[in-house]
Amino acid sequence: MRAVHALRLNRASTAAVVVGVVLVVGGVFKVYQTADNVHRSLCALRAERIRGIVNGKKFLQEHPQGIPGISRADILRSIETQKETVRAFRFADC
């Protein structure tokens, strides 16, 4: 009788361990998946800001004083803000 009880307990313990391992592996997979999504998002944002810097500089070459309602200083501030964002995301290996 003890052997049967021990066998049942052993099966229950094995099942609990298997369920625990599955949950841990699933959780680790979800963390890596989320990290990958965040990395891709940061790289997309960084690339967009780099394009904004390039476009802002081109715009200033064509309109050195800005345009009515958007001054040269406003455009330069925008470029600097975008540069700060690019620098902030320099850790992302894009």
Q: 49-89 pLDDT, tens per residue?
A: 999 999 999 999 999 999 999 999 999 999 999 999 999 99
In a domain, 24, yes or no: yes
Angle at CA of residue 35, ends 30 and 36, nearest 5°: 100
In a domain, 37, yes or no: yes
* pTM confidence score: 0.68
Residue 46 and residue 85 in contact, taking contact as beta carbons nearer than 8 Å? yes
In a domain, 93, yes or no: no
Owning domain of residue 72: 2-88
In a domain, 78, yes or no: yes
- Structural domain count of the chain: 1
In a domain, 94, yes or no: no
- Average pLDDT taken over every residue of the chain: 85
Residue 89 and residue 42 in contact, taking contact as beta carbons nearer than 8 Å? yes
In a domain, 46, yes or no: yes
